[in-house]
Amino acid sequence: MRCEAVPRPPEKVRRRPGEAPERGGHVAISTDGGRVAARRARAVRRRARVTAAPAQLCIWAGAVAVLGLWWSNTASVVGTAGWLTGAGRITGLLAGYACAVLLVLMARVPALDRGVGTDRLARWHAAGGRYTVFLALAHTLLIIWGYTLTAHTNVVGETTTLVLDYPDMLKGTVGFLLFVVTGAVSARAARRRLSYEAWHFLHFATYLAIFLVFGHQLANGADFVGDTAAQLAWYTLYLAAAGLLVWYRFVVPVRCGVRHRLQVAEVRTEAPGVVSVYMTGARLDELAAEPGQFFRWRFLAPGLWWTASPYSLSAPAHPHRLRITVKALGGHSAAVAQLAPGTRVWAEGPYGGFTAARRTARKTLLLAGGVGITPLRTLFETLPGQVTLVYRARRPDDLALRDELDAIAASRGARVLYSAGDPAAHGFPYLPLTSDSLLRLLPDLAEHDVYLCGPPGMTEAALQALRGAGVPARRIHHESFAF
């Protein structure tokens, strides 16, 4: 099913003086996108990747090794005080190990990012962060309790002695409090009240916390004092994590910014509150950006330079041009619409495994909600085989990039269905996200790969409907807007 396009309002364009607009006001539509995507998918499969199962196995193996460190340094455990202190040592070791793992998960290592997927890594990081805070809290309470029983003193006195008299404990206490504050801020209820930018910068406190507690671990940990091999292993673990973090989060972005010289060429209105930002640069093909991936963009303009926000490519990458499409959902995204041509841009990426490499079936359904169309628009053009796109929005005016989607559908013989939830949307059907409605659209839905991108509520409803329609979990690929 395909709906007729309604007339669109005149575009508001800002470009350099004397610069001609692209023909037709849109990016060019590739006629061989399927063949290009197939070649890229084969190339991606040949690249070094660390998939979810080996990554998890490595993490758990490290945790077992940490427990082995405690076991090898513990001759016996006697009495209540001994058990409490032993439990405190174990939770402290695991908390210290988890800190290094958290750094690696968010270091944006390409092999992990492509193999495991950015969304899954973010979920692992969030869950690991909660476990780390609880382990650190348990370590603190158990050690204080165990030492109190051993010294036959009171809790307040023993706590004061530990914090003020033990080496590096004062710094460790400050680091622990930073962990607790960051964990509280990351709780779902608190996170909803924070902007992405505020949440992002508060997490820099985690780096400071890890730095502060590291010295305490080696200075006071019974498993490290006098054990040179254990100390070297711990230094190696943390230096490796720090090295990955510095290289991929700082050195690589700076090197890419200098090499590719990205700058804003044009800002174009696509729908109410939605703009496309066209950027030009040098040797952009070296970035090897694939349809479905995103970058973290740092616009060197007042109010924007201090944060890098994630936006997906909304058109296949060109050797000299990149495009993103952004909806005003916060202060940063709203300011993007005011960018002036010539603004310098630093791009970190590409990131994400939401690409053709995940495809396992010959048929594909793309489910987009709102500005979630951005990565799916690139996949709609480039995925080989039979492709159906369902694009949902509250109002017809919110359906961005429709002319391009219509042109892609016509050039490759694909299907596109627009769905508007507004009852006054004449000529636009409303497609509820239920198993029955999806099966009426595609009776053989279970034989499709499904790529899903949209707001959290839509994503949850779609996942439930797809599972109810018999689509195997391994064939449902989704990317979330949540942070």
Residue 17 has φ and ψ, to the nearest 5°, of -55, 130
Second-level CATH architecture of 356-480: 3-Layer(aba) Sandwich (3.40)
Q: What is the DSSP letter of 9?
A: P
**Each residue of 315-355: pLDDT tens digit?**
999 999 999 999 887 777 788 888 999 999 999 889 888 88
Token couple for 451: 């790529």
DSSP, collapsed to helix, strand or coil, labels residue 116 as helix
Q: Indicate whether 102 pLDDT > 70.
A: yes
DSSP, collapsed to helix, strand or coil, labels residue 135 as helix
**Each residue of 6-22: pLDDT tens digit?**
333 333 334 433 333 34
Q: Mean per-residue pLDDT for 67-92?
A: 91
Q: List the chain domain ranges.
A: 48-255, 261-351, 356-480
d(C-alpha 432, C-alpha 451), whole Å: 17
Residue 471 has φ and ψ, to the nearest 5°, of -75, 125
**Each residue of 460-470: pLDDT tens digit?**
999 999 999 99
pTM of the model: 0.74
Per-residue confidence at 26, pLDDT binned at 50, 70, 90? Answer: very low
d(C-alpha 55, C-alpha 116), whole Å: 8
d(C-alpha 386, C-alpha 377), whole Å: 15
Instruction: Say which residues have a Cβ less than 8 Å from residue 34's Cβ, sequence separation at least 6.
Output: 382, 383, 384, 385, 412
Q: Indicate whether 480 pLDDT > 90.
A: no
Pairwise pLDDT comparison (425 vs 8), residue with the higher score: 425
DSSP, collapsed to helix, strand or coil, labels residue 295 as strand
Cβ atoms 368, 390 nearer than 8 A = yes
d(C-alpha 121, C-alpha 124), whole Å: 5
d(C-alpha 456, C-alpha 273), whole Å: 19
Q: Mean per-residue pLDDT for 214-228?
A: 84
Cβ atoms 2, 415 nearer than 8 A = yes
CATH code: domain 261-351 is 2.40.30.10
- In single-letter form, the type of residue at position 388 comes to T
Pairwise pLDDT comparison (452 vs 28), residue with the higher score: 452
* pLDDT recorded at residue 179: 82
* pLDDT recorded at residue 42: 45
Per-residue confidence at 75, pLDDT binned at 50, 70, 90? Answer: confident
Residue 14 has φ and ψ, to the nearest 5°, of -120, 125
Q: Indicate whether 167 pLDDT > 80.
A: yes
* pLDDT recorded at residue 40: 47
Q: Indicate whether 175 pLDDT > 80.
A: yes
The number of beta carbons lying within 10 Å of the beta carbon of residue 388 is 21
Per-residue confidence at 191, pLDDT binned at 50, 70, 90? Answer: low
